[in-house]
Amino acid sequence: MEFEEEKERLIRSMIMAGSLKTEKIIEAFRKIPRHLFVTEEYLKSAYLDVALPTIGGSTISQPTTVAIMTEALQPKKGEKILEVGTGSGWQACLLAYCVGSKGKIVTIDIDPKLIEFAKKNIKKFNVKNIRIICCDGSVGYEKEAPFDRIMVTAACPAIPKPLIEQLKIKGRMVVPVGPEQGQRMLLVDKLGRNKLVQRDIGEFVFVKLVGKYGFK
């Protein structure tokens, strides 16, 4: 198959580096190929371990970054997950594979052009457990709350309060927080209504979150 060798080489390198560890997540990376989510212009670069431009100034994240975030989130079968920042749709499909048919992914983005781009990409798979919504991601999506897990794929000046509120107790969030120049990736476990435990899992650079609780 086209790109199969490049895809497998990338996956093996991430396993060797320790970025990919969990069997189900590794399986998702094999079943949901990245080249189906990049623009034609960057198709030959699909399995380089770099972020690539998509449309409207957005990017499809570096595969290692996606692996680290997904491993940190640890999606489980049957869970309902909110993704803030739909982008190309790749991360939503990876999560959808991990949660299985009894789980659900709600993915939201403020950019209607990106939403359409993601919809076209997601339609390439027989995925029935993803709901795609165009709205201000910084306020979450109250209609589907609470969520077992939340993944934010855009830089936040601070953790948006509505996302904390919409996360279940014993739920988990992965969110990049900090200035536009560079953020710290935070793994946040909600142990009680007003009790959060945060762990720093490294420095990253994301496009900025736009909206009420995003960058002005």
Catalytic residue, candidates 19, 58, 61, 88: 61
d(CA 190, CA 169): 5
State if pTM tops 0.85: yes
Residue of 108, 139, 107, 115 lying closest to 56 (CA atoms): 115
Quote the pLDDT of residue 194: 82
Angle between helix axes 23-31 and 4-17 (nearest 10 degrees) is 160
- What is the per-residue pLDDT across 75-97, written as a single tens digit (0 to 9) for each? 999 999 999 999 999 999 999 99
For tokens 């086209």, the residue is 2
Quote the pLDDT of residue 16: 98
- What is the per-residue pLDDT across 155-189, written as a single tens digit (0 to 9) for each? 999 999 999 999 999 999 999 999 988 899 999 99
Quote the pLDDT of residue 180: 84
Does residue 1 register a pLDDT over 70? no
Domains and CATH numbers, the chain: 4-204 (3.40.50.150)
Residue of 90, 79, 77, 74 lying closest to 153 (CA atoms): 90
In sequence order, which residues have a C-beta less than 8 Å from that of residue 97 and are 6 or more positions away?
24, 27, 28, 31, 32
**Is-catalytic flag, 45?**
no
